[in-house]
Chain A
Amino acid sequence: MRMIYGDSIVSTVAKLCITANYKLRTDVKQSLKIAGRREKGLAKYALKTILENIDIAAKEHIPICQDTGMAVVFLEIGQDLQVKGNLIEAVQEGVRIGYKNGYLRSSVIDEPLGERRNTGDNTPAIIHTNITAGDKLKIAILPKGFGSENASALQMFKPTDSMKKIENFIIETVRKYGPNACPPLIIGVGIGGTFEKCAELAKKSLTRQIGKLNKDLNSRKLEKRLLKKINSLGIGPAGLGGKTTALAVNIETYPTHIAGLPIAINISCWALRQAQAVI
């Protein structure tokens, strides 16, 4: 059985936190560039500023955005892999070190309804684990800012509800909260599963590269339709008006119960940050 040590997980996670916050995903940057070409006026100005910001961040080593997020970590653990030490604690320690050494902001507070004291090291991170085949550990980190996290929503629809009602829920969520969530947005949609599974699907869908087609034909069609409708809302880059309210709609589905149809929307700002590694 292959064995890895906690230390290597700590250092990998620390590095990923830093990389993600200084260097934007290339597919997102590319998509912003293309959007800039079709806009004019304030929308063009906003996109130009955003693109300049992305370059400054990478070249001068300044975090892309001051909200360096709550660290969302996806772990895919090969079932033939043995981890020496405490895996979860190693990930938390990696986040602690990464945020400190990378001069990233500590944005996590302890008791949500209590005193809301800052934990000082951006932990705990949100860790999702999944057991897969093989003997490798795949780590993906998404620092998630809350300007856009706050714009997210989940609703339990009935199987008899119309497609129109579901689409309206998604579009109205974007219309209401979009201007505050730093558009152009990437809209993650989870369909099916249970209450919590649906939310996770929406988050997970944000990891799909922009431009990479959905394997499911029905989802692909729905993505296209929703993107068109969302971009006709006129919210535009930075909410100042324009054609580009969203860069992409990404849908992930999962089987669900005969009585249910959960729909979750997880909104990401244009600063969709992500870094991953395989150990």
Chain B
Amino acid sequence: MRKIKLPLEDKVLNSLKIGEIVLLNGIIYTARDAAHKRMIKKLPFDIRGQVIYYAGPTPAPPGRVIGSCGPTTSARMDIYTPLLLKMGLKGMIGKGNRSSDVIKATKKYKAIYFVAIGGAGALLSKKIKSAKIIAYRNLGPEAIYKLEVEDFPVIVGIDSFGKNIFKKSSGRVYSAF
């Protein structure tokens, strides 16, 4: 399994192909529905070159960095994604398929969509070395967390050439909710 350093270098990003399992190392930012709704009006951090993780963790018990922290359904963010990619976002991590608009935008802006195994919140939380809320604290689990990850396992779902793993697996692309 290839170890990938974040932020993503263009050369590395373009070498990633759908279906490859990689281990991410560096900084990622969580954002889900409510955060996206706010973000597109005013960005709370510089998203250029960064990776967003669609996730809302459980509260951290004493002595732990974070609670369970697996991916949420990416498709719900589809309506915001092309705009964020245009603004310079480079990577996304979530679960499930994406709309054709997102696939097109991923190709156009040379970005990448990673799939994390849905429901594996306990395992993935162990790959998170530090967590800090940097925006929208009042949204509770939907706040934006800056996470430092080490060997965070993901699979390339849509590569920078617009190839899509879900098309390969089920033969069709859907834009579901």
Contacts and interface: CB of A to CB of B under 8 A. Distances in A.
Contacts of A60: 122, 126
Interface string B1-22: 0000000000000000001010
B96 A63 contact: no
A13 interface: no
Nearest to B58: A105
B95 A103 contact: no
Contacts of B21: 42, 45
Contacts of A166: none
A271 interface: yes
A-side interface mostly: loop
Interface band, chain A: 35 or more
B121 A63 contact: yes
A135 to B, nearest CB: 37
B176 A103 contact: no
A214 to B, nearest CB: 26
Interface residues of B, number: 49
Interface string A61-72: 111111110000
A56 B124 CA distance: 10
Contact of B115 (A61, A177, A181, A240): A240
A238 B13 CA distance: 23
Contacts of B139: 118
Contacts of A103: 58-61, 67
B67 A62 contact: yes
A62 B119 CA distance: 12
B122 A57 contact: yes
Interface string A264-279: 0000011100000000
Contacts of B169: 179, 234-236, 239-242
Interface in A170-218: 175-182
A17 to B, nearest CB: 12
B141 A107 contact: yes
Contacts of A222: none
Interface string A232-253: 0111101111100000000000
A56 B67 contact: no
A239 B118 CA distance: 9
A134 interface: no
B58 A234 contact: no
B119 A42 contact: no
A173 to B, nearest CB: 10
A240 B116 CA distance: 11
Interface in B140-172: 140-142, 153, 155, 165-166, 168-172
Interface string B111-129: 0000101111111111000
B34 interface: yes
Contacts of A240: 19, 115, 155, 165, 169
Interface stretch (A46-54, A79-87, A124-132): A46-54
B127 to A, nearest CB: 11
A135 B145 CA distance: 49
A179 B170 contact: yes
Nearest to B55: A66
A56 B68 CA distance: 11
A120 interface: yes
21 contacts: A50-B119, A57-B122, A62-B122, A63-B58, A65-B70, A65-B121, A66-B72, A66-B141, A68-B58, A103-B61, A116-B34, A118-B140, A177-B176, A179-B170, A181-B96, A182-B118, A235-B170, A239-B95, A239-B96, A239-B169, A240-B115
